[in-house]
Amino acid sequence: MPIDYENMLQYTTPFRCPECGEHTFQTDRTPNSPAALVEAECTSCGHALTIEEIERQVATLPRGAIDAMVAKYQGGKSDESL
């Protein structure tokens, strides 16, 4: 599904941009799972995350990092609205 650029919000995640190392991404979807970050754009360099990049990082994240991300943004609140 194409990104809705008018409704993009920024989210800080446990995932890193493979290009620059940034943890903040912008997307029109709430990050309620790692798959929701596919095509999310790095706020620093503009790189769009791929499913392969996310899958490689999932195994290396600290235990509970994904659950913490989901809990933080439950209800659709982004970093911009906190």
Q: Flag whether pLDDT at 5 surpasses 80.
A: no
43 within a domain of the structure (yes/no): yes
19 within a domain of the structure (yes/no): yes
- What's the start-to-end Cα distance of the chain, in Å? 27
6 within a domain of the structure (yes/no): no
* pLDDT, position 9: 87
Alpha-carbon gap, residue 7 to 17, rounded angstroms: 21
Give which of 2, 8, 10, 7 is closest to 73, Cα–Cα: 10
The confidence band for 2, taking pLDDT boundaries of 50, 70 and 90, is low
28 within a domain of the structure (yes/no): yes
Number of domains in the chain: 1
40 within a domain of the structure (yes/no): yes
52 within a domain of the structure (yes/no): yes
User: Does the model's pTM come out above 0.75?
Assistant: yes
* pLDDT, position 4: 64
58 within a domain of the structure (yes/no): yes
Alpha-carbon gap, residue 33 to 42, rounded angstroms: 17
Q: Flag whether pLDDT at 3 surpasses 70.
A: no
Q: Work out the mean pLDDT of the chain and round it to a whole number.
A: 86
Its domain, for residue 55, covers 11-76
47 within a domain of the structure (yes/no): yes
